[in-house]
Chain A
Amino acid sequence: MTTLKIADREFTSRLFVGTGKFASNDIMARAIQASGTQMVTVALRRVDIENENDNMLAAIDRKKCQLLPNTSGARDADEAIRLSRLARAASGINWVKLEVTPDPYYLLPDGTETLKAAEALVKDGFIVLPYIHADPILAKKLQDVGCATVMPLASPIGSNQGMKTRASIEIIIEQATVPVVVDAGLGAPSHAAEAMEMGADAVLVNTAIATAADPIEMARAFKMAVEAGRIAYETGLAPKTTASASSPLTGFLRNEE
Chain B
Amino acid sequence: MSAILKINGQEKTFEKGLPATLSELLDSLKIDAATVVAEIDGKIVEREDFAQTNLAEGQAIELIRFVGGG
User: Which residues of A line the B interface, CB within 8 A?
Assistant: 18-22, 28, 41-47, 49, 52-53, 55-57, 67, 69-70, 72, 85-87, 89-91, 157-158, 184, 204, 206-207
Contact of B68 among A19, A86, A89 (CB under 8 A): A19
Q: Is the CB of A19 within 8 A of B35?
A: no
A-B pairs with beta carbons under 8 Å apart, 18 shown: A20-B67, A20-B69, A44-B37, A46-B9, A46-B63, A46-B64, A47-B8, A49-B10, A52-B30, A55-B35, A67-B66, A86-B37, A87-B37, A87-B66, A90-B37, A91-B66, A157-B70, A204-B70
Closest partner residue, chain B, to A16 (CB atom): B70
Verify if B15 is at the interface (C-beta below 8 Å from A).
no
Cβ–Cβ < 8 Å partners of B37 in chain A: 44, 86-87, 89-90
Q: How far is the CA of A90 from the CA of B68 in the complex (A)?
A: 15
Asked if B66 contacts A46 (CB within 8 A), the reply is no
The answer to whether B32 touches A55, judged by C-beta atoms less than 8 angstroms apart, is yes
Q: Is B24 positioned at the interface, with any CB of A under 8 Å from its CB?
A: no
Cross-chain contact B29 with A49 (CB below 8 angstroms):
yes
Contact of A41 among B9, B36, B62, B69 (CB under 8 A): B69
| B window 13-70: CB within 8 A of A | 29-32, 35-37, 39, 44, 46-47, 62-70
Task: Assess the B67–A207 pair: CB atoms within 8 A.
Answer: no
Q: Whole-angstrom distance between the alpha carbons of A55 and B36 in the complex?
A: 10
The reply to whether B70 and A20 form a contact with Cβ atoms under 8 Å apart is yes
Interface residues of B (CB under 8 A from A): 7-10, 12, 29-32, 35-37, 39, 44, 46-47, 62-70
**Minimum distance in angstroms from A215 CB to a CB of chain B:** 12
- Bound complex: CA A143 to CA B29 (Å): 44
User: Once bound together, how far apart are the Cα atoms of A224 and B9, in whole Å?
Assistant: 45
Distance to closest chain B CB from A72 (angstroms): 5
A89 touches B44 (CB 8 A): yes
Contacts of B36 in A (CB 8 A): 47, 90
Q: How far is the CB of B43 from chain A (nearest CB, A)?
A: 10
By a CB distance below 8 angstroms, the chain B residues around A45 are 64-65, 67
Nearest A residue (CB) for B66: A42
CA distance A42 to B37 in the complex (A): 14
CA distance A202 to B65 in the complex (A): 27
Q: How far is the CB of A168 from chain B (nearest CB, A)?
A: 21
Determine whether the beta carbon of B68 is less than 8 Å from that of A43: yes
Task: Assess the A43–B66 pair: CB atoms within 8 A.
Answer: yes
B52 shortest CB reach to chain A, Å: 16
Whether B65 contacts A86 by the Cβ 8 Å rule is no
Partner of B65, one of A20, A28, A44, A67: A44
